[in-house]
Amino acid sequence: MHFGTLIVKNLLRRPVRSLLTATGVALAVGAVVALLGVARGFEDSLLQVLQVHDVDIVVTRAGKTDRMTSVLDERWGQLLAGLPGVEAVTGALMDVVDFRDANLIGVFIQGWPSDSFLFDQLPLRSGRRLHPGDRQCVLLGAKLAEILQKTAGDTVQIEMHPFRVVGVYESYSLYENRSAIMPLEDFQRLMDRQGQVMAFHVKVSSGPVKAAAVETVCRHIENLSDQQGRRLPLEARPAYDYVKSTLQIRQVQAMAWVTSVIALVIGAVGMLNTMIMSVFERTHEIGILRAIGWRKGRIVRMILGESLLLCLAGATLGTLAAVAGVYWLSGLPVVAGLVQGKISPVVIGQGYAIAVLVGLAGGLYPACRGARLSPTEAIRHE
Amino acid sequence: MSDADALFRTVNLTKVYSDGSVNALVDANVLILQGQYVAVMGPSGSGKSTLLNLLGALDRPTSGEVFFQGQPLSAMRDLDHFRARQLGFVFQSFYLLPTLTAAENVQIPMFEIGIRAAERARRAAELLELVGLSHRAGHLPRQLSVGERQRVAIARALANRPIVLLADEPTGNLDSHNAAQVLELFDRLHRQQQMTVVVVTHSPEVASRAQRIIRLRDGKVIDDAPSFSTC
């Protein structure tokens, strides 16, 4: 018999209690994995958009916590394009609209100049890309087109204005597939933000050390001045940093963590209760084990082992439930394209790491309490 | 009796329980030689189990000392190791782990002496054969008779090849047939393996199997004499 066999058999002694405790942990870990998975998926998707389009740097207004409210003068793009190391620059405007008829909320609309380098990596499924001079036109992402049941040649209402669908694109990014792209001028007029962009996307020339080149260009951008010598209010961040520091992503992650911590505390208290009960019930038995020579450390290992095994079983159940739940959620039209159907292995790893912490937190006190029992007192215990 | 052959020697051993009202053992001086079969007798509350617990390092004396092979137990750094290696315990209520088979219960003490799983299983099979329970190795305690359970507990006590067996009322829960089997087993261990056996009992019949009988009353040793059956 292995030591692990003893641990498993101890848990099977009270199968219903073990199952309920593991279920409590499963709920906690499942909540963590699902919430963090969705948050992480959102972040990955946004990063993927920038990576797919070869965007190295995103420039927004300095001091703005919420980049959606960033306002930049469209003409500053020419200053950026003239900096050494910059290969291409494009201004972009973005906002979120609803398509209430299709029960669709939070759809991202982007305004790009028709000659933007961002179009280079936007494979079309049907129709054509935007041409210079196009007005009241829009390109729909494949998922959005599917939900709206629109194709090239159809008309779609955006903010109560008709737009002709000239093409449908299929991006590598789930997030982009649920968005729409229209000429920058149209979008500026629609949003009443003529001459403004929200951000500049910058592509840095390929060099031997891209990361260093990106850092250098960022510094140059932040040091740019206008003709009067006043420093422009620009904040330049490498794409990864930009995504990481996006307010909406930070908010989603903070909410995910807060909810997760509450779930975990409940899970740990449940585990603590179970293990204290288990030790109390086995006081006699622990006394015998101590009498026949088991060291305190082995008693601790046995009880902690039981606690950890319960947590790992719960984590497995919870992870499976979270993966299935998020996959199911991603198929719902109302969130389709916002929630990725898969959960990153990193998040699953975090779920298991947290389960181990719950196991240690819930098992350590009962384990120490069990190990401290005097053999004679424990044997006399009734 | 010579001190050189002493397995256990107690010097003015006293145990007062924590509330201070019960003198469980008072100035007990006992010498147990290697290979002896000793019974400890006395009425309830006379200090028999307290003496056994102190000899087995399960409890600490209030004053006095227990010497094992000349070494004071109070100076031993690792009493768990001492119990695991040198002593085998048999209790009145067996205390087998209910979810483990007979063979698995016998292996429990072996975890502390660092032997491999295959060796643990082999040794458990040998011990169950010694106590006549090879055919019950895969049974759970609830599937065994009380006599069989006590024999599994004895096999467990022998798991780490101890040099002394400490038994607290080992036949207290057994009928006469099963009690006779257990006592026969103790006799064999003593005769064939020269094992030191210390049995706490209130039964004259059990005590009569021993070479010596130590009698206690009110925590004091009142008599220490050879058993009639060996005189």
Q: Residue B227 pLDDT more than 80? A: no
- Distance from A11 to chain B by nearest Cα, in Å? 10
What chain B residue is nearest to A292 in terms of C-alpha separation? Answer: B84
Please indicate whether, in this complex, the C-beta atoms of A291 and B89 are within 8 angstroms of each other.
yes
Report the alpha-carbon distance of residue A12 to residue A24 in Å, rounded.
17
Q: How confident is the model at residue B19 (pLDDT cuts 50, 70, 90)?
A: low
Contact, B64 vs B16, CB < 8 A?
no
Mean pLDDT confidence for B209-213: 92
Please indicate whether, in this complex, the C-beta atoms of B95 and A288 are within 8 angstroms of each other.
yes
Please report residues of A whose CB lies closer than 8 A to that of B99.
9-10, 12-13
Distances B144 to B101, B147, B181 between C-alpha atoms, Å: 10, 8, 15
> Can you tell me which residue has the tokens 């942990």?
A25
Please indicate whether, in this complex, the C-beta atoms of A1 and B117 are within 8 angstroms of each other.
yes
- Helix A296-330 vs helix A247-281: angle between axes, to the nearest 10 degrees? 140
Phi, psi (deg, nearest 5) at residue B213: -125, 125
Nearest CB to B112; choose among A9, A294, A375: A294
Please indicate whether, in this complex, the C-beta atoms of B83 and A296 are within 8 angstroms of each other.
no
Kindly tell me the burial class for residue A243, based on how many C-beta atoms sit within 10 Å of its own C-beta (0-12, 13-18, 19 or more).
buried
Neighbours of A349 (CB within 10 A): 12
Report the alpha-carbon distance of residue A92 to residue A67 in Å, rounded.
12
Nearest CB to A375; choose among B58, B100, B103: B58
Going by the DSSP 8-state scheme, the letter that residue A73 receives in this structure is E
Report the alpha-carbon distance of residue A151 to residue A142 in Å, rounded.
9
What chain A residue is nearest to B86 in terms of C-alpha separation? Answer: A293
A265-284: string of b/e by CB count within 10 Å (b at 16+)? ebbbebbbebbbebbeebbb
Neighbours of A11 (CB within 10 A): 23
Interface probe with B: pick from A1, A18, A298, most Cβ of B within 10 Å? A1
pLDDT tens digits, A42-61: 888 888 888 888 999 999 99
Interface probe with B: pick from A5, A282, A288, A292, most Cβ of B within 10 Å? A292
Average pLDDT over chain B reads: 89
What chain B residue is nearest to A290 in terms of C-alpha separation? Answer: B80
Q: Residue B231 pLDDT more than 60? A: no
Q: Residue B1 pLDDT more than 60? A: no
Q: How confident is the model at residue B20 (pLDDT cuts 50, 70, 90)?
A: low
Which residues of chain A register pLDDT less than 70? 334-338, 381-382
Question: Among B25, B24, B27, B23, which residue's Cα sits nearest to residue B12?
Answer: B27
Please report residues of B whose CB lies closer than 8 A to that of A288.
91, 95
Q: What is the pLDDT of residue B230?
A: 45
- Distance from B231 to chain A by nearest Cα, in Å? 34
Helix (H) or strand (E) holding A257: helix A247-281
Q: Which is more confidently placed, A259 or B87?
A: B87
Report the alpha-carbon distance of residue A33 to residue A342 in Å, rounded.
11
Please indicate whether, in this complex, the C-beta atoms of A288 and B91 are within 8 angstroms of each other.
yes
Q: Strand locations in B18-106, DSSP E?
A: 23-28, 31-33, 37-41, 63-68, 71-72, 87-90
SS3 content of chain A, % helix, strand, coil (to 5): 55, 20, 25
Q: What is the pLDDT of residue B196?
A: 95
Q: What is the pLDDT of residue A381?
A: 62
Interface probe with A: pick from B22, B48, B58, B77, most Cβ of A within 10 Å? B58
Contact, A158 vs A179, CB < 8 A?
no
Nearest CB to A292; choose among B84, B100, B103: B84
Nearest CB to B99; choose among A10, A298, A375: A10
Contact, B2 vs B70, CB < 8 A?
no
Q: What is the pLDDT of residue A48?
A: 83
Going by the DSSP 8-state scheme, the letter that residue A149 receives in this structure is T
Interface A–B counts its CB contacts (< 8 A) at 69
Please indicate whether, in this complex, the C-beta atoms of A293 and B58 are within 8 angstroms of each other.
no
Q: What is the pLDDT of residue A73?
A: 93
Q: Residue B25 pLDDT more than 70? A: yes
pTM for this entry: 0.76
Kindly tell me the burial class for residue A381, based on how many C-beta atoms sit within 10 Å of its own C-beta (0-12, 13-18, 19 or more).
middle
Distances A209 to A5, A48, A85, B190 between C-alpha atoms, Å: 54, 21, 12, 82
Structure tokens at A257: 């963590």
Distances A135 to A19, A107, A201 between C-alpha atoms, Å: 62, 21, 23
Tell me the CB-side half-sphere exposure of residue A116, using CA atoms within 13 A.
27
Interface probe with A: pick from B59, B97, B100, B156, most Cβ of A within 10 Å? B97
Please report residues of A whose CB lies closer than 8 A to that of B98.
13
- This model of the complex carries an ipTM of 0.87
Structure tokens at A96: 């979120």
Structure tokens at B213: 């009988």
Please report residues of A whose CB lies closer than 8 A to that of B53.
376
